[in-house]
Structure 1
Amino acid sequence: MKLILTSEVSGLGAPGDIVEVKGGYGRNFLLPRGYAILWTRGGEKQIASIKKARDAREIRDLGTAQEVAAQLKALRVVLTTKAGESGRLFGSITTADVAAAVKTAGGPQLDRRRIEIAPAIKSLGSHRVTVKLHPEVTAALDVEVVAA
């Protein structure tokens, strides 16, 4: 099955890429969730607009990605949230929360889809978050979660 990706899918590709996948994966996962559209000749026109939007969000070159990684390393990010008596959070910290906290801390604007929170953050304290800035550059970011 030939599809055009509309959002980034880990291990498959980026928005605007044309991919060939098995039928069940495409019909049951990618298409219903809006991660892809069926490939058609008319759909190829949409690829240009998808790639244009992706290029506007993406960090262009390796040097810029390394500069942003250095900024993130020097940044102190503090997230304030509600927590119970034992230090357990009501809910969890999401990638959108981390992206907003980085922006308010004076850091660069990050795409939430590039942020990876390996074990879910559900407790107070210091946690490590990774940010994929470029295919060759991954930055580690320390996030301090405090009670409100």
Structure 2
Amino acid sequence: MKIVLRQDVPKVGEAGTIQTVSNGYGRNYLIPQGLAVVATAGEIKVAEHNLAVKARKIVKQEEQMQSLADRIAGQRLEFIARAGEQGRLYGSITAGDVAERLSAAIGEEIDRRKVVLDESIRTVGTYTVAVHLVGRLRPQVTVVVTGEVDESAAAVDAERAPDATAEAETAPEPTAEAETTSDTNAEAETDVVDEADA
């Protein structure tokens, strides 16, 4: 069925667009929730007009935002975070962190919702992150996350290592007792065999 979206719907489309969806999804969810209306001839005409107006507006906004996009593109944002030995961060780097660092770097406020980050960064490494300004204007920045070794965790590991070594040194050696037991068992078996022969 054809519908006209009244609001942005993830994985379906943006508000004002004409989409084709399954009958059940349209009738049972989108239309009752007020997210869409049935695409009648009148609705389609209004939607096409609104899309044309919106397209002109986006082109104008893209022209205005181009200088900002040029300043954002190619920025290198470095983060130092506490990490374990395998490079896994104890916390995470979020879209809000990237937006804050980018705002400081370019001197203009960037909304965290503009940063396209599917999930928080949780490991050390280099990442390419897009910033969706308007329309097709999506400059990319490089986010470099380096790990800072947690000295308190390293100190605990260092304290545990000497304790384990000391325990190993103070533990009796089981090999000497095992040899004595084996010799005694061997002598007992020999005596049993000798008695059987006699």
Classify the TM-score, shorter chain. Answer: 0.5 to 0.7
Q: By how many angstroms is 1:24 displaced?
A: 6.6
Corresponding residue for residue 71 of structure 2: 71
Residue by residue over 1:91-126, the C-alpha shift from the partner in whole angstroms, topping out at 9 and shown as x without a partner, is 432111111111222343222222112575221122
Residues 88, 124 of structure 1: 8 Å contact kept? yes
Q: Which runs of 5+ in 2 are unaligned?
A: 37-57, 149-198
Partner of 1:115: 115
**Partner of 1:42 in structure 2?**
none
Indicate conservation of the 8 Å contact 1:62/1:134, yes or no: yes
Kindly provide the CA deviation profile for residues 12-59 of structure 1, in whole angstroms up to 9, marking residues without a partner as x.
33xx8799998879x98x9xxxxx8789xxxxxxxxxxxxxxxxxx9x
Letter in 2 for 1:12: G
Q: Which amino acid aligns with 2:73?
A: K
Q: Which has the larger radius of gyration?
A: 2
Amino acid at match of 1:102: L
- Give the number of the structure whose residues are more often strand, by fraction: 1
Q: 1:112 to 1:19 in 2, by over 3 A?
A: farther
Aligned counterparts of 1:92 and 1:105: Cα–Cα separation in 2: 20
Q: d(CA) in 2 for partners of 1:64 and 1:77? A: 24
The one-letter amino acid paired with 1:132 is H
TM-score, length-scaled by structure 1: 0.57
What CA distance in whole angstroms lies between the structure 2 residues aligned with 1:84 and 1:19? Answer: 49
Query: Which aligned runs of 4 or more in structure 1 are off by greater than 4 angstroms?
Result: 1-5, 7-11, 16-25, 36-39
For the structure 1 residues 71 and 93, does the alpha-carbon distance in structure 2 shift closer, same or farther, using more than 3 Å as the test?
A: same
Distance 1:19 1:94, change over 3 A: farther
Fraction of identical pairs, as percent = 28
CA separation of 1:131 and 1:88: change in aligned 2, threshold 3 A: same
Q: Does 1:12 align with 2:6?
A: no
Normalised by the size of structure 2, how large is the TM-score? 0.45
Is the CA contact (8 Å cut-off) linking 1:72 and 1:107 kept in structure 2? Answer: no
